[in-house]
């Protein structure tokens, strides 16, 4: 989302000034917030069996810890954008990070699933709003020529959380307990809040997202199909990945320490794949995205049939595939409607979170009724549906060409 138009005209300078060290400290504080948000969002994946056992629920029901924040964030992303209006973005970011701290504290102390889901719901509120404003704020914290670098730094926080978030949770829970995992993440969020309070400048906004922009975006058939493409591919991942820890433990027979190492490997190869995708977006987006989705589907189908080290290798292949997918599908969606960047960003967050929620919910139903491997098969099926959606755009047309059409 690009919120640069919201800067008052009086703030414009005839000559661009070099960003100060304080400017970059504010960027790092937002990046730290991004790291805390994504770590909190993915944390239950690595400790799901322990939480399910502690709260006396099935692993499929425990998957609601991923579903609930996704549903809430899907609603809160456009709602906060529409409702915040001209609210100073500094105040909004601080408020959302404070809610993140509260979410982790409630989750760490939760005596029951209901209280846990309350904490996760608070995460959803903060999560949707944060993504709706954080990237836009990045471009306003530094000079225009450095805006891309500032945005990349915030995405680096997301990438690092994707790499270390899930294995971090399993590591801390192995040493202490799953409750300590949430407590440590609450401390991380509090650190981000303090850093933002000390470094973020005033970020006034003269205009917020309008309903007419959302309507205009949703009226475009290619925008709607791009949302479906993003939704199916992301749901394909989370249908299975939400339950990867139970699969590796119960079905593949790995120890908690081995599971931590495998999930860390998943994140590390995914980070490398993300950088590789960044180099092919402008020239080979369709081919690259299609290839990694097919790679993910292949890994999901193969895993239930493998044993020992072959399982680890298949998980790493899956990590390579998914590491490239978020950037690929997000770029595809944004390229189909470059004239409506704010609406595109808001609906991107909404679609992504709906996909996480629906994928984890469907996977949980399969796990409880047909075992963990069935979630992998369902994820692969949804992934094939995503490939079909991509083919519906036509073989020769590019996303940029499609942006010129309705």
Chain segment 207-249, per-residue pLDDT in tens: 555 677 777 777 788 888 888 998 999 999 989 988 888 899 8
Computed on alpha carbons and rounded to an integer, the radius of gyration of the chain in Å comes to 20
Helix axes 309-336, 256-278, angle to 10 degrees: 40
242 CB-side CA count, 13 A: 34
CA–CA separation, 406 and 403 (whole Å): 7
> Which tens digit of pLDDT belongs to each residue from 331-389?
787 677 666 666 676 777 788 878 888 888 888 889 888 888 999 999 999 999 999 99
Whole-number Å distance between alpha carbons of 402 and 229: 14
Task: Count CB atoms within 10 A of the CB of residue 186.
Answer: 22
Domains of the chain: 22-209 (1.20.1250.20), 210-406 (1.20.1250.20)
The answer to whether the CB of 158 falls within 8 A of the CB of 34 is yes
- Kind and range of the H or E element at 404? none
Distance CA 382, CA 391 (A): 14
Tokens 């989370």: give the residue.
238
User: Alpha-carbon distance 60 to 253, whole Å?
Assistant: 19
Q: Tens digit of pLDDT per residue, the chain (406 long)?
A: 333 333 233 333 333 444 455 677 877 888 888 889 888 988 887 788 888 888 888 888 888 888 888 888 888 877 877 776 667 778 888 999 999 999 999 999 999 999 999 999 999 989 888 877 776 666 666 666 565 566 666 666 776 776 677 677 778 888 888 999 999 999 999 999 999 899 888 877 655 556 777 777 777 888 888 889 989 999 999 899 888 888 998 888 888 888 888 888 888 888 788 777 767 766 777 888 889 999 999 999 999 998 889 999 999 999 888 888 877 887 787 677 666 666 676 777 788 878 888 888 888 889 888 888 999 999 999 999 999 998 887 655 555 455 434 4
Residue carrying structure tokens 């601080």: 94
Task: Give pTM, 2 decimals.
Answer: 0.72
Terminal Cα distance for the chain, rounded: 21
């Amino acid at each position: 989302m690009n919120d640069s138009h919201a800067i008052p005209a009086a703030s414009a300078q005839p000559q661009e000034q070099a960003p100060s060290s304080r400017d970059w400290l504010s960027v790092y504080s937002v990046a730290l917030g991004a790291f805390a948000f994504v770590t909190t969002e993915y944390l239950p994946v690595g400790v799901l069996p322990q939480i399910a056992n502690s709260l006396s629920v099935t692993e499929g029901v425990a998957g609601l810890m991923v579903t609930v924040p996704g549903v809430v964030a899907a609603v809160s992303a456009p709602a906060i954008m529409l409702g915040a209006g001209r609210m100073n973005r500094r105040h909004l970011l601080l408020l959302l990070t404070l809610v993140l701290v509260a979410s982790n504290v409630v989750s760490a102390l939760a005596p029951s699933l209901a209280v846990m889901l309350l904490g996760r719901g608070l995460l959803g509120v903060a999560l949707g709003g944060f993504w709706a404003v954080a990237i836009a704020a990045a471009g306003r914290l530094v000079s225009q020529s450095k805006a891309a670098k500032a945005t990349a730094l915030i995405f680096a926080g997301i990438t690092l959380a994707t790499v270390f978030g899930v294995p971090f949770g399993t590591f801390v829970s192995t040493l202490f307990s799953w409750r300590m995992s949430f407590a440590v993440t609450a401390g991380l969020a509090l650190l981000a809040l303090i850093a933002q309070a000390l470094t973020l400048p005033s970020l006034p906004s003269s205009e917020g997202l309008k309903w007419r922009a959302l309507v205009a975006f949703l009226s475009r058939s290619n925008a709607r199909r791009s949302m479906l493409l993003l939704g199916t591919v992301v749901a394909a991942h989370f249908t299975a990945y939400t339950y990867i820890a139970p699969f590796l433990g119960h079905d593949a027979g790995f120890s908690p320490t081995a599971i931590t190492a495998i999930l860390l490997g998943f994140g590390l190869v995914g980070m490398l794949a993300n950088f590789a995708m960044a180099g092919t977006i402008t020239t080979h987006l369709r081919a690259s995205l299609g290839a990694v989705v097919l790679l993910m589907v292949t890994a999901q189908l193969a895993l239930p049939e493998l044993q020992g080290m072959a399982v680890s290798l298949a998980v790493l292949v899956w990590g390579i595939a998914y590491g490239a997918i978020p950037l690929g599908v997000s770029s595809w969606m944004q390229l189909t409607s470059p004239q409506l960047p704010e609406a595109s960003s808001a609906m991107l967050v909404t679609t992504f979170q709906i996909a996480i929620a629906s994928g984890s919910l469907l996977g949980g139903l399969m796990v409880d009724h047909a075992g963990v491997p069935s979630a992998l098969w369902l994820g692969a099926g949804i992934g094939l549906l995503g490939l079909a959606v991509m083919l519906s755009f036509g073989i020769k047309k590019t996303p940029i060409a499609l942006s010129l059409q309705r």
